[in-house]
Amino acid sequence: MLLTSPLVSAAEFERRTGWAIKPEGACKADRCVPLRDTSTDKFDISELAKALRMPLVRDEKHDLWAVGPEADAPPLASARVPHFTLPDRNGDEFTLDSLRGQKVLLIAWASW
């Protein structure tokens, strides 16, 4: 959702995201997130973005804000892959750690 300000009207936010601003907070289906102040027509999107782990970025050059969809999972704690060993295509054991320090592209596939 692109915005010209972090202040957004409740009606516009609901129309574009499905999140309704109610006295108890922002609600979508049976899920509600408390907000500090829902008494005005406009609210600060940054509070809701933080609560829902929605990415919120600002383009200073064009004075635009962008807020992304809510995330169901917590953000990654690091970019490090855990240690694991898998069979390679010949059936030999392959440890990802053997490539430490090199750029690696992992491709995963599943038949289902």
Establish if 85 belongs to a structural domain. no
pLDDT for the residue numbered 49: 86
Residue 10 and residue 73: Cα distance in Å, rounded?
25
| Of the candidate ranges 43-47, 54-58, 78-82, the one whose mean pLDDT is the lowest | 78-82
Domain carrying residue 6? 2-67
Residue 71 has pLDDT above 80, yes or no: no
Picking from 4, 15, 6, the residue whose alpha carbon sits closest to that of residue 42 is 6
Mean pLDDT across the chain: 83
- Overall number of domains in the chain: 1
Residue 35 and residue 47: Cα distance in Å, rounded?
7
- Find the mean pLDDT for residues 40-58: 83
pLDDT for the residue numbered 91: 92
Picking from 6, 3, 8, the residue whose alpha carbon sits closest to that of residue 64 is 3
Establish if 89 belongs to a structural domain. no
| pTM, rounded to two decimals | 0.53
